[in-house]
Amino acid sequence: MTKKDIAVKDRLIFALDVPDCERARALANELGDAVTFYKMGLELMMSGGYFELVDWMLAHGKKVFADLKFFDIPATVGSAVRQLRDRGVNCVTVHGNQSIMEAAVENKGDQLKVLAVTVLTSLDRGDLDDLGFDCDVGELVLSRAKRAFESGCDGVISSGLEVARLREFVDHKLLVVTPGIRPVDNKPEGDQKRVVSVEQAFQNGADHIVVGRPIRDAASPREAAEAIQATIAEQF
């Protein structure tokens, strides 16, 4: 279990994967105080009004995770992070090698946290073969997490399946954010292949979990979020 001093309610990050900012605001209003931390990704970025929504979230006392997965030459990634660092968001994701991560870290300022993507939870062994990675998924996650730590990143994005081993071999200072959470069972769903339950994620050492569809698509999103929050509270 992680020992970081994080407010229990902030350990749940809701993936606000909806097609437009109007729907995002309506869903946030419906969730109310059941969710304090929101992940806003590329779908919302491309819909228009992304930063206006960021400002709205911050004005309502929410934390924002800009899941934009920057991946370009180091200078461009550094410039993108520098543009973002004064927008009030809590963290941003980056892809890539050590020089890309270092450029992000050099430009993040004092408040913005840089999280390195290890291996997307939508990828399995067959996908890695297609991409030309001749290694075990766990080994690749561990290798990238070590490089993220060496680069000065604040944390990593990692499937809950690999967190325990990551904690064993990489410094516990790293923040670990775990997507691919399925509250009811451990069956893959949709585009997520490497998934775990809420309890498994935290028992393996995650600091935050990211939950999307199980909340968004529930008959009552607020009740679904509250149930997950109750499960988290039991772990701490």
Q: Is 69 a catalytic residue?
A: yes
Q: Is the pTM of this model over 0.85?
A: yes
Homologous superfamily of the 8-235 domain (CATH): Aldolase class I (3.20.20.70)
* Given 3, 4, 69, 187, the catalytic residue: 69
Task: Show the 3-state SS of 149-193.
Answer: HHHCCCEEECCHHHHHHHHHHCCCCCEEEECCECCCCCCCECCEC
Distance of alpha carbon 70 from alpha carbon 172, whole angstroms: 24
Give the tens place of pLDDT for each residue, 151-165: 999 999 988 888 888
Give the tens place of pLDDT for each residue, 195-228: 689 999 999 999 999 999 999 999 999 999 999 9
Looking at per-residue pLDDT, the higher value among 178 and 121 belongs to 178
Looking at per-residue pLDDT, the higher value among 118 and 148 belongs to 148
Give the tens place of pLDDT for each residue, 10-55: 999 999 999 999 999 999 999 999 999 999 999 999 999 999 999 9
**Type of residue found at 207:** D
**Type of residue found at 14:** F
Joined tokens for residue 97? 């090698």
- Would you state the pLDDT for residue 206? 95
Report the SS3 class of residue 38.
strand
Joined tokens for residue 80? 């993108």
